[in-house]
Structure formats: structure tokens, C-alpha cells
Homo-oligomer: A and B are copies of this chain.
């Protein structure tokens, strides 16, 4: 058996792993010693993933061949689909064993997404406490502290001694989600603080819990948004956190692994929204192409409609383009640069708000800071682009026909001429100036919009990630085009 468990030393990670084929082999042969070794040495989630590539019948057979303790922990790592298939295939007795070893919050998540008949079967298999916990948890608002908490925690009155506490932990601790953090309440069951298990182990047996309390720990209300909960874990380096009801009485706890999952989920949603994708509920590979299309099409259509404004502006200025056709050649780089500059800032705004680095009311300080960097950035971009666009015209990459006209000569003769045609140079510089000065204002305007919009949306208590970079770009495009042709009008009318 040992040779089938590969030691994966990929990128320095030491871990035992099993391939789906090797796993199937062991399952097919009912190789009990081998299967026992697998569940001991290979992490549950990796076994679950290997199982997902096999038939569900193999999963069912595996579950019957391993001990109940491991079956329970492995069950938790299966996908929702695998869990449902397994439950359908299990006998009532097997179901009772599996279900009652799960933690209540994981079971509640599973049951919540199940078809009603399966859910009923699971709840019937659950013992009274578990069933009550599941029903309690299912009542809470989705994506709130109540929805991600568990009701299985250790709670003691503050007057208890260390010795009494440890004794009780030994008796009841097996059923708690975590005993690393002990939650302490007063006589009225109000949450007062926590004691770490490490502190408990290191303390004198006769100490009272209230002498060891950490009281500088946050707790949250059941309706607090899960993103807020995750941020508290991140900020205060928590291992577990208490959840209270309206009377400040402890009703549940959130553990760090669930907080990490929330952080990951919320960040993925932000990234999706920032790029005009409606929130995917699952991972990329789990999302069916038809559903993916549903998540992508809406914003593309909305942005297409908003893009009408740019089309309107360009159509209105068709005459100017007729007079100075080279202006059209710079439209892409003009709009891209404005959008890019704004996109930089908006990413920093949305991320900063998500990590609570600043709040909407800090808009003054942020605008002051951004204006200074935007001016510097605008200046660099303008100076560089002026030179660059001049080079583009001189080398013929972009053909400035107006310059031909004014110069009255063939393009090629510029290089052979003895004196530099001032009139020609003027035409080239005029165009470079129009574009590069527009870029300057484009950068400034886009960065200001990129601050005001998301902070404004956040101030209205909505999700700022809704201001996606594509949305910003579309708005900035319109502003940039208006500025572009505005400046072109001024310079053309003045000098032609």
C-alpha cells in the first residue's frame, strides 16, 4: 500500500496524496487495511476530490468500509452533490451515525441546500439537540453571523475555577466545535469575555475564570454581515468569536476556518463584480457555461447601452474628423489610457474599503492624496505622449493628412528637406498637443470619478464593487471624447 500513497513534494509541500485510480483500486478490492491507511494519512479534502472523479457507487462503498469516525469527517468535505447521493444510498442507521457526528453549522448548510425530501430524512436522523440546532441556524439571514456560526461551544460562568472548567471540558468537550476558546458569561448569561485553552492549561487550578478573561475581544450580533465578521477575525487575529442576540446573550460562535472561507468568498465576489461579472455562487469550473453566460451577458449589454453616449459624441463631431481625420486614429489610445488610469484608482478604492483601511467619510483625505498623485501621473503621461505621438506622425505610423496639405509636399520629403518645415511641424505638434493635453485631463477626471463613485456608493451602504472598471471606463470615455473634441475645436479654430 505504501507505494501507492505518493509523497507530494511539490513546491516544497510535504503531503501524502492518492490518485483516483489507486483509490478505486483499493475500494474495488475491499482492501480494508489499505483504506484505513489512506484515511489516516491523506487529508479528507483530498480524498473527497479523488472520490469526485469516481462513480458515486465507489464513494458509497468506501463509506461502508471505513470506521465511523473517519466517515464522519470525510463526509463534511464532500461536495453538496456527493453528500446528497450518499444520503440517498445510506440506510437510516448509517445516516444517524454520520449526521450526529457532524457539526451543526456544517449540517445546517448542507440541509439548507437540499431538496425537501432529503432534508426531512436528515432531520429525522438527527438527534433532538442537533435537530434543534440546525433549525435554529437555518432561521438566520443568509451571509450573516448567525448563518455561519455554530451552536456547539463551551460556555462557563465567570465564577468557575480552572480546575472545574478543565474537568467539565474533559466530560463535554468532544461535542464542541472548538475548545481552544472558552466563552465566559455572567450570571445573567451575558457574554463577558473569552479564555484561551492555552491560558487555562497554564493557569493555577484554583484561579477563577474571571481572573483570566480576555475582555478586549469583539463579539457580534446574529444579524451582522459575514464580511464584517471576517474583517474582525483579520484585524484582531481571532481564533473564535462570540455571537450574541438582542439581549447580549451568547447564542453561537464563529471559528477562524469559517472566517477564512468567508474572506475568500467575499474577495472572489469583489473581483468578479469589479470586472462586470455578476456574483458566481460556485467556482469557475463548477459553473455551467449557460449559467456563466447569464452572469456575463447582463453587464455587457448594460455597458453597450451606456456606450451609446460615446457613439453620440463621435457622431456629432463627424465634421471635425472630416477636417482632421488623424484625430480618429488616436481615439483608442485616448480612451484606453483614461480607463486604465481610472481602473488603477478604483481597484485601490474598492480593496481599501473592503479591508476597512478607510471609510467613505475619509473622502477628503483620499481626494487630496489622489489629486497630488494624479497631477504627477497626468504630467508624466502628457509629456511622454506628446513626444510619442509626434514620433508616430513623423515616422508615418499615423498619417497626418492635414500636415501633408499644409506642407504642400509629399510625406517622404520631410527627411530630405534642408530646412525643417515649420508649418508642417506645427500641424504635427498641434495634433500631439490636442491628444496629450486631453490625456492629462482624462487621467485627472477618471481618477476623481474613480474615487467619488465607489466612496459615494459605499456611503449609501451599497456594495462599492458594483462600480466596475468597465463601468468607470464607459463614463470616462464620454468625458474624454468631449474634452478631446472641445480642445480640438479651440486649437483648430484658433490656428487654421
The one of B237, B303, B343 that contacts A337, using a Cβ cutoff of 8 Å? B303
Docked-complex contact A14 and B301, CB < 8 angstroms: no
Closest to A292 in B: B373
Q: List 17 A-B contacts (CB under 8 A).
A: A9-B221, A12-B145, A14-B191, A14-B218, A15-B219, A43-B217, A166-B201, A234-B260, A234-B261, A237-B260, A267-B267, A284-B366, A297-B380, A300-B377, A311-B392, A318-B325, A332-B335
Docked-complex contact A329 and B340, CB < 8 angstroms: no
Which of A56-64, A116-124, A348-356, A420-428 binds B? A348-356
Q: How far apart are the CA atoms of A178 and B372 in the complex, in Å?
A: 45
The one of B321, B347, B397 that contacts A274, using a Cβ cutoff of 8 Å? B347
Name A299-339 residues within 8 Å CB distance of B.
299-301, 303-305, 307-308, 310-312, 314-315, 318, 321-322, 325-326, 328-333, 335-337, 339
Docked-complex contact A377 and B198, CB < 8 angstroms: no
Docked-complex contact B340 and A285, CB < 8 angstroms: no
Question: Which of A166, A289, A372 lies at the interface centre, i.e. has the most chain B CB atoms within 10 A of its CB?
Answer: A289
Q: Which residues of B contact A398 (CB under 8 A)?
A: 311-312, 315
| A70 nearest CB across to chain B (Å) | 10
Docked-complex contact A308 and B397, CB < 8 angstroms: yes
| A431 nearest CB across to chain B (Å) | 11
The one of B215, B257, B280, B296 that contacts A237, using a Cβ cutoff of 8 Å? B257
**A174: Cβ under 8 A from any B Cβ:** yes
**A488: Cβ under 8 A from any B Cβ:** no
Docked-complex contact A381 and B234, CB < 8 angstroms: no
Docked-complex contact B228 and A285, CB < 8 angstroms: no
List residues of A whose CB falls within 8 A of some B CB.
Answer: 9, 11-16, 39-45, 145, 166, 169-170, 173-174, 178-180, 191, 197-198, 201-202, 215-225, 228, 232-237, 239, 244, 248, 256-257, 260-261, 263-264, 267-268, 271-272, 274-277, 280, 283-285, 289-290, 292-293, 296-297, 299-301, 303-305, 307-308, 310-312, 314-315, 318, 321-322, 325-326, 328-333, 335-337, 339-341, 343-344, 346-352, 355, 357-358, 362, 365-366, 369-370, 372-373, 376-377, 380-381, 384-385, 388, 392, 397-399, 401, 443, 469-470, 473-474, 477, 481
- 7 A-B pairs with the lowest CB-CB distances in the bound complex, closest first: A12-B221, A12-B224, A307-B333, A275-B347, A289-B373, A289-B372, A310-B332
Q: Which residues of B contact A352 (CB under 8 A)?
A: 283-285
Docked-complex contact B341 and A296, CB < 8 angstroms: yes
Q: How far apart are the CA atoms of A307 and B337 in the complex, in Å?
A: 9
Q: How far apart are the CA atoms of A374 and B362 in the complex, in Å?
A: 41
Closest to A335 in B: B332
Docked-complex contact A344 and B216, CB < 8 angstroms: no
| A90 nearest CB across to chain B (Å) | 24
> How would you classify the secondary structure of chain A's contact residues: helix, strand, loop or mixed?
helix
Q: A169-B201, A170-B202, A285-B365 are in contact. List 4 more A-B contacts (CB 8 A).
A: A285-B352, A297-B376, A300-B340, A336-B470
Docked-complex contact B333 and A369, CB < 8 angstroms: no
The one of B290, B301, B348, B365 that contacts A384, using a Cβ cutoff of 8 Å? B301
Q: How far apart are the CA atoms of A314 and B330 in the complex, in Å?
A: 8
Q: How far apart are the CA atoms of A45 and B198 in the complex, in Å?
A: 22
Q: Which residues of B contact A370 (CB under 8 A)?
A: 289, 292
Contacts A272-B348, A352-B284 given; indicate if A328 touches B314 (C-beta within 8 A). yes
Closest to A391 in B: B308
Closest to A144 in B: B12
Closest to A218 in B: B15
Q: How far apart are the CA atoms of A365 and B283 in the complex, in Å?
A: 14
| A336 nearest CB across to chain B (Å) | 6
Docked-complex contact B325 and A268, CB < 8 angstroms: no
Closest to A350 in B: B271
Q: How far apart are the CA atoms of A373 and B216 in the complex, in Å?
A: 50
Contacts A290-B373, A352-B284 given; indicate if A215 touches B40 (C-beta within 8 A). yes
Q: Which residues of B contact A15 (CB under 8 A)?
A: 218-219
Closest to A176 in B: B198
| A447 nearest CB across to chain B (Å) | 9
